[in-house]
Structure 1
Amino acid sequence: MNDETPSTAQIQHNLRHLRVFLAVIDTKSVTKAAATSHLSQPAVTQALTKIERELRTTLFTRTPQGLFANSRGDLLAERVKRAFGYLDPALNELSPRLKLVATTSQLRALIAVRECENFTLAAKKLGVAQPTVHRAVTQLEEEAGRALFERTSYGIVATRMANSVAQAARLALAELAQAEVDLAEANQEEAGTVVIGAMPLSRSFVLPRAIAEFRKLRPRTPVHVLEGPYADLLAGLRRGEIDFLIGALREPAPIGDIEQRFLFTDTIVVVAGTGHPLVGQAKPTPEELASYPWVVGQKGTPIRKHFDALFEGLAKRPAAIVESSSLILMRELLSRTNHLGCISFLQAQAELTRGLLKALPLHLEHTARPIGLTLRRTWLPTAPQRLFLDLVTQTDTVP
């Protein structure tokens, strides 16, 4: 990031200044904003000056009729309103006064302690002294008039209210971080990141193509691809740490604050190494398949449900199972042993085309499942994030 790129790391540190900024946006007057904010006019002017200085840009057109937000002011205002839209209801429920006095440092401390369940670990995560974190949380508790954490034998556990505020604060800070990208784009600068929660199919099929095209258009924008169990990726999405997920959609959607966008359908395929006894033979029976060891995804995944259905009603089911979503592990194990693999057809397509794996002649059209995007319902993407989504939706299922 060069010196001319706007920095929200600083504006995030003073929520009160951002509230004053919104008051000026709404009233178009320093005098009226001072009255609604219960501040002096010089204090309002000073807050605006500080924000503009930190952002290295002007946010208002000053006229005799008042202050009117310019295009950059409108961009920032939209993100700040969204941030407080997340944060304020949670703070009001805990204590109405916190809306006026809570600071970013206190909220970051709350988030860190909630995640680490320990003040010392939270301090290390934030890069500050342990007493600093303890003091920040204590200040919030004193203002709220209640404890935010319960001390247990295995750590410090957040109360329901602390969880609510921490989640809201995470989303609010994510919105302010998005403001940096919006303002940089307004200055025709390349900024921001794209963070993707990638399920197994997307890592082999969708993402390589989308990233290749994205890199042609955004040569310097970082792309972070995060892997892990669906539950962990979904939690990261809902906390604002991940922009969107790509992979098998869940039916029904697991929770109401996300939306799922269909892209295409995929089926499963049973694969074997090139030297497996079943390769080249007629359609194997379920009993024959059950007699071999398998590599298949973890329980609870869509593929595992289809795998289990293959042997429904059999007295003897596969006894030796390796649970893994790794295509590389599956390919290498199948090449060395008589294991069979149950995997997404599109995920294995490149391996099948190159002759590294062989598909067994089974009729599995009934295993068709929807593949798509999972996003937070209220998410507003930045320009690079929107571009990446557009490239993903253009993915062709024909190689």
Structure 2
Amino acid sequence: MTPSLRHLRVFLAVLDRRSITAAARACHVSQPAASQAMARLEAEAGMALIHHGRDGSGPTEAGALFGRRVRRALGRLDLSLAGVAPRLVLTATRAQLQALIAVRDAQNFTRAAQRLGLAQPTVHRAVSQLESEAARPLFLRSGKRMEPTRAAQLLADAARLCFSELEQASAELADLAGREAGQIVIGAMPLSRSSVLPRVVADYRAKRPRIPLRIMDGPYDDLLSGLRRGEIDLLIGALRQPVPVPDVVQERLFTDDLVLVARPGHPLVTGRPDVAALARFPWIVPRADTPARAQFDHALDRLGGAAVTRPAMIECGSAVLMRELLTLSDHIGCISRLQASAEIALGALARLDVALPDTARAIGVTTRADWLPTAAQAQFMDSLRRLAAVPRPGA
């Protein structure tokens, strides 16, 4: 469903006033126009959203479900629209806001038009109409780039969250009708990609074989930004302490720690090497901007690493690259116990008998504080919570 914002406002007015005629008056449109808006919405939904009869126009089960999502979507959007210019609450259209998001992301009208599959003048006109209604510029030209103002940034974020909520509304209606719709977008940090996520996805696929899953990786800050903008539904991986921003919540699923690994047959695999022995070999360690690296540095100091020359280090965020380097050389790797568990169980890597103090860390899921999952998303969360507690072989 891609309903117009005006039709959605009429729908909410019908729910509030239990009458299409009263809703038309409240929205300053004619009664035929309000009836046409409701007919269009119900046609897109493929089901009745209100009861059509002399006793009023109360919501059906589908209408109540849809109405809850629409209120959340428009409530978030209208607050931002009013912050730019109160008039935009009445005049801004879906097409204009989609153009705003595209230009904000691309910082160029031509690239924004390409992303939307529209002509460049069409996108330029849509943004110009928003600026005209707002009586202020939303972008400032800087060379060939269009720099969004703070107002444009906030409005684009609110619009994206609104559209994400409306997509979830459509998915819930489809689920109610026995159809699969929508998707789940997962931000996956390294540990989850190699340990937790494969089992959860396999389990979920057996229950919901037709729901598209999109798994995104990247730096934590990028994934967190995507989550907050509504592009990502949930993040799985190491939790941050304290919580990085107030509009997200973290749920701990289990605890992991760091271990040292090497190839089978490495000179340090047998016995209990001290830090001086470890320092004679090159290392592969987490990147400097990660919690795991901070824990590793702290643990090495606790073991007496400050008293010896630090070993040569390769910073690496890829478990696959680390594994290949370890099998080809005498490097020592520092990695999550769970990430290494499958390789250790298969005999591809061996764990060194060295305890790294104070490296326990909480692993879990991060979501928006106001996130309301669909039935399909809630089922994925159930699989995640259940399987995250099951230990893997070799862990």
Structures share a fold, TM > 0.5? yes
Partner of 2:335: 343
Distance in 1 (CA, whole Å) between partners of 2:72 and 2:300 is: 50
1:317 CA displacement: 4.8
1:216 CA displacement: 1.1
Distance in 1 (CA, whole Å) between partners of 2:358 and 2:287 is: 20
- The answer to whether the 8 A contact 2:73-2:166 is kept is yes
- The answer to whether the 8 A contact 1:311-1:317 is kept is no
For 1:86-137, what per-residue CA distance to the aligned partner results, in whole angstroms no more than 9, with x for missing partners? 1001100101110111011110111111111111111111111111111111
- The answer to whether the 8 A contact 1:261-1:372 is kept is yes
Partner of 2:68: 78
Task: Summarize the alignment of residues 210-289 of structure 1 with structure 2, pairs less than 5 Å apart.
Answer: 210-282=200-272, 284-289=273-278
Q: Is 2:376 the partner of 1:379?
A: no
Task: Summarize the alignment of residues 320-339 of structure 1 with structure 2, pairs less than 5 Å apart.
Answer: 320-339=312-331
- TM-score, length basis structure 2: 0.95
Distance in 2 (CA, whole Å) between partners of 1:287 and 1:148 is: 59
Distance in 2 (CA, whole Å) between partners of 1:153 and 1:379 is: 38
Distance in 1 (CA, whole Å) between partners of 2:118 and 2:375 is: 34
Distance in 2 (CA, whole Å) between partners of 1:41 and 1:329 is: 65
Distance in 2 (CA, whole Å) between partners of 1:260 and 1:89 is: 26
Choose which of 292, 296, 299 in structure 2 pairs with 1:303: 292
Distance in 1 (CA, whole Å) between partners of 2:67 and 2:135 is: 32
Distance in 2 (CA, whole Å) between partners of 1:150 and 1:288 is: 58
Partner of 1:4: none
1:315 CA displacement: 5.4
Distance in 2 (CA, whole Å) between partners of 1:239 and 1:68 is: 33
Partner of 1:5: none
Partner of 1:124: 114
1:231 CA displacement: 0.7
The number of aligned residues is: 388
1:39 CA displacement: 1.2
Partner of 1:36: 26
For the residue of structure 1 that corresponds to 2:341, the secondary structure is: helix
1:65 CA displacement: 2.1
Kindly provide the amino acid, as one letter, of the partner of residue 137 in structure 1: V
For 1:138-164, what per-residue CA distance to the aligned partner results, in whole angstroms no more than 9, with x for missing partners? 111111111111111362111110001
Kindly provide the amino acid, as one letter, of the partner of residue 291 in structure 2: P
Distance in 2 (CA, whole Å) between partners of 1:238 and 1:317 is: 42
1:325 CA displacement: 2.0
**Gapped regions of structure 1 (runs ≥ 5):** 1-7
Choose which of 148, 151, 164 in structure 2 pairs with 1:158: 148
Distance in 1 (CA, whole Å) between partners of 2:316 and 2:94 is: 40
1:256 CA displacement: 0.3
**Gapped regions of structure 2 (runs ≥ 5):** none
- The answer to whether the 8 A contact 1:123-1:129 is kept is yes
- The answer to whether the 8 A contact 1:286-1:310 is kept is no
Partner of 1:147: 137
The alpha-carbon distance between structure 1 residues 317 and 117, as it changes in their structure 2 partners (threshold 3 A), is farther
For the residue of structure 1 that corresponds to 2:323, the secondary structure is: helix
Partner of 2:282: 293
- TM-score, length basis structure 1: 0.94
Distance in 1 (CA, whole Å) between partners of 2:255 and 2:313 is: 26
Distance in 2 (CA, whole Å) between partners of 1:390 and 1:365 is: 32
Kindly provide the amino acid, as one letter, of the partner of residue 349 in structure 1: S
1:71 CA displacement: 0.6
Distance in 1 (CA, whole Å) between partners of 2:278 and 2:117 is: 54
Q: Is 2:51 the partner of 1:61?
A: yes
Identity of aligned residues (%): 51
Task: Summarize the alignment of residues 94-113 of structure 1 with structure 2, pairs less than 5 Å apart.
Answer: 94-113=84-103
- The answer to whether the 8 A contact 2:253-2:365 is kept is yes
1:316 CA displacement: 5.0
- The answer to whether the 8 A contact 2:262-2:350 is kept is yes
Partner of 2:39: 49
Distance in 2 (CA, whole Å) between partners of 1:92 and 1:104 is: 16
Worse-matched range after superposition: 197-206 or 260-269: 197-206
Kindly provide the amino acid, as one letter, of the partner of residue 109 in structure 1: A
1:184 CA displacement: 0.6
Partner of 1:367: 359
Kindly provide the amino acid, as one letter, of the partner of residue 296 in structure 1: V
Distance in 2 (CA, whole Å) between partners of 1:135 and 1:55 is: 30
For the residue of structure 2 that corresponds to 1:240, the secondary structure is: coil
The alpha-carbon distance between structure 1 residues 287 and 215, as it changes in their structure 2 partners (threshold 3 A), is same
1:224 CA displacement: 1.3
The alpha-carbon distance between structure 1 residues 371 and 317, as it changes in their structure 2 partners (threshold 3 A), is farther
Q: Is 2:391 the partner of 1:398?
A: yes
For the residue of structure 2 that corresponds to 1:19, the secondary structure is: helix
Distance in 1 (CA, whole Å) between partners of 2:115 and 2:278 is: 49
Moved over 4 A (4+): none
- The answer to whether the 8 A contact 2:299-2:359 is kept is no
The alpha-carbon distance between structure 1 residues 38 and 228, as it changes in their structure 2 partners (threshold 3 A), is same
